[in-house]
Amino acid sequence: MDRRSFIKNASLGGLGAAAASALASPAIAQSNPKVTWRLTSSFPKGLDTIYGGAEVFAKHISEATDGNFEIQVFAANEIVPGLQAADAVSAGTVEACHTVAYYYWGKDPTWALASAVPFALNARGMNAWHYHGGGIDLINEFFAGQNLVVYPGGNTGVQMGGWFRKEIKTVADLQGLKFRIGGFAGAIVAKLGVIPQQIAGGEIYQALEKGTIDAAEWVGPYDDEKLGFQKVAPYYYYPGFWEGGPTVHLMFNKAKFDELPKNYQALVRTAAQATDANMLQKYDHLNPTAIKKLVANGAKLQPYSPEILAACFEAAESTYAEMEEKNENFKKIWGSIKAFRKDYFLWLQVAEYANDTFMMQLQRGGKLG
């Protein structure tokens, strides 16, 4: 081969390689562009399971994109206070947050429906409604007006009903009770004479110890155990009927979410659903051991009486009826939840109830090992 032919062939080969590279590299770059977001949590790092949900989500995103889509997670108060997380995302201060929608019910009670309201659905029911009952679409239709895109990103399962300094047996015992209980639920129990109190988690123990409050609800055995409430308010009531299955949400600034390539948007939805499942599974694994430790250390488990539950249910239903009359968004979403709730609890009475009841009887009889 002469020199001229060699150069000609080499040049063509080089051009071919360059062309192949030009075709391949932009496609990869376009599908996995470099993106860095900040996510603010409503939770402190000490609540490792619920706060850890955001870290699980960020890890899934990073690993699936070879580190091209990074989400930096910040605990409550590192960027903004925990109860301002959604506001920060809506305003574009940060791109994402991990929070509970009912924290913001004061803006519009419709916010609470995305997470939990008294006597709604349990965790599995909420997930069924969200993923297959049109819930995600309904709430995103509402949240689009807040410049937000939201997906379920965790669930604690049904929570406990609070720590009390004295026994609560009848509705009359609720009169004048100073109860640390969150937002929407506080408005319900206030109809029965309870005086709702808003106190930060780190201040609850001292308030109970001093008698500034009479009772406080937090989360459930695993998280409650860390705070030692049984030492100052030993009566541990259940169930937390206002949080039968509270959904924790991952919220995203809508403008920023819409800028993502379609494969990143799909990944966000998938990673959020994985995070949602993981949190509930982790709580289900941790709570059985924690409840035994609490009882061993002085907690006195007490169920709410049927009288109290029935009175709270009626108060809740009357509140919902009032809100449906004056809030079209609330009416639309609550109507969807109500319709599913009726059939869902019908189905639970069949195989699920029979199986679980029998297994519980075996457990009480010491026959499960």
Q: What is the pLDDT of residues 126-159, one digit of tens each?
A: 999 999 999 999 999 999 999 999 999 999 999 9
Q: For residue 231, what pLDDT band results from cuts at 50, 70 and 90?
A: very high
CA distance 119 to 341: 9
What are the structural domain ranges in the chain?
Answer: 33-153+243-283
Sign of the torsion formed by the C-alpha atoms of 184, 163, 243 and 111: positive
Which three-class secondary structure state does DSSP give residue 270? helix
Residue 227 has pLDDT above 70, yes or no: yes
- Please give the pLDDT value at position 13: 44
- pLDDT over 60 at 215, yes or no: yes
Q: Are 168 and 235 in contact (CB under 8 A)?
A: yes
Asked if omega into 81 is within 30° of 0 (cis), the reply is no
As a whole number of angstroms, the distance between CA 198 and CA 26 comes to: 53
* pLDDT of 84 higher than 70: yes
Percent of the chain with pLDDT over 90: 88
Please say if the pLDDT value at position 22 is more than 50.
Answer: no
Question: In the numeric block, which tokens belong to residue 215?
Answer: 């009772």
Phi, psi of 41 (to 5 degrees): -95, 155
pLDDT attached to residue 202: 77
Report the distance separating Cα 82 and Cα 365, nearest Å.
44
pLDDT of 188 over the 70 cut: yes
Closest to 188 measured CA to CA, from 251, 240, 137:
240
CATH 3.40.640.10 fits 33-153+243-283, yes or no: no
Span 216-220, average pLDDT: 95
Q: For the residues 80-86, what does the mean pLDDT come to?
A: 95
Per-residue confidence (pLDDT) for residue 273, from 0 to 100: 98
CA torsion sign for 109, 114, 116, 117 is positive
Tokens standing for 16? 């071919």
Mean pLDDT (the chain) is 92
Work out the number of other CB atoms within 10 angstroms of the CB of residue 285.
11
Chain centroid offset of residue 128 CA: 15
- Whether the pLDDT of residue 1 is over 80: the answer is no
State the pLDDT confidence band at 21, using cuts at 50, 70 and 90. Answer: very low
Rounded mean pLDDT, 333-345:
98
Structural element, H or E, at residue 38: strand 35-41
pLDDT score of 338 more than 60: yes
pLDDT at residue 369 above 80?
yes
Question: What integer pLDDT is reported at residue 199 of this predicted model?
Answer: 83
pLDDT value for 30: 60
Averaged over 236-240, what is the pLDDT? 98
CA distance 365 to 338: 37
Give φ, ψ of 77 to 5 degrees: 80, -5
Q: Is the pLDDT of residue 113 over 60?
A: yes
Tell me the mean pLDDT in the region 274-278.
98
Instruction: Give the mean model confidence (pLDDT) for residues 269-274.
Output: 98
DSSP type of residue 174? G
Return the pLDDT at 25.
44
The pLDDT value given to residue 198: 84
Per-residue tokens: 152: 């379920």
Angle at 324 between CA 319 and CA 330, to 5 degrees: 100
The tokens for 352 are 């699920």
pLDDT bin (cut points 50, 70, 90) of residue 288 is: very high
pLDDT of residue 16: 43
Residues paired with residue 70 on neighbouring β-strands, in sequence order: 36
Q: What is the pLDDT of residues 23-56, one digit of tens each?
A: 444 445 567 899 999 999 999 999 999 999 999 9
Burial state string for 93-123 with b = 16 or more CB within 10 A and e = fewer than 16: bbbbbbbbbbbbbeebbbbbbbbbbbbbbbb
For residue 355 the two structure tokens come to 């199986």
Sheet holding 148-155, edge to edge: 69-74, 35-41, 96-99, 247-253, 148-155
In the predicted model, is pLDDT for residue 206 greater than 90?
Answer: yes
Q: Which DSSP string do the residues of 93-155 spell out, in sequence order?
A: SSSEEEE-GGGGTTT-THHHHTT--TTS--HHHHHHHHHHSSHHHHHHHHHGGGTEEEEEEEE
**What are the residues whose beta carbons fall under 8 Å from the beta carbon of 272, sequence distance 6 or more?**
57, 151, 152, 153, 250
Q: How confident is the model at residue 10 (pLDDT cuts 50, 70, 90)?
A: very low
- pLDDT for 8 equals 43
